[in-house]
Amino acid sequence: MNDQSRLLVNAIRGPVILITVGVLFAADRMTSYQFHQTWPVLLIVVGLLQLVGGRRRRSDNYYPPTPNTPPPNAPPPFSARTDASPRSDPAEPGA
């Protein structure tokens, strides 16, 4: 299936599902069939649209991740103090 027919199937998918739901509700009102008896038709229509549309290629929407590197002129990242000991003030006696 070429890209143009795939786009066509994707474009009509929503309207076809809405028409199917409308027909099922109309059948619920006008015939002896109730919606709880006919809802599997909706699944069949969705499945047929999937078959006609074909599988989507995963590579169509794939974008490689961006590297986590800073820009060339960026300042160095802030680093928190790692030693947990309190600072000793040289002016204090006993330090």
Dump pLDDT digits (tens) for 27-64: 999 999 898 888 899 999 989 988 887 766 555 566 66
For 91, how many CA atoms within 13 A lie in the half-sphere containing its CB? 0
pLDDT of residue 35: 87
Does residue 13 register a pLDDT over 70?
Answer: yes
pTM for this model (two decimals): 0.51
DSSP line for 43-74: HHHHHHHHHHH-PPPGGGG--PPPP----TTP
Distance separating alpha carbons of residues 18 and 15, to the nearest angstrom: 5
Domain residue ranges in the chain: 3-54
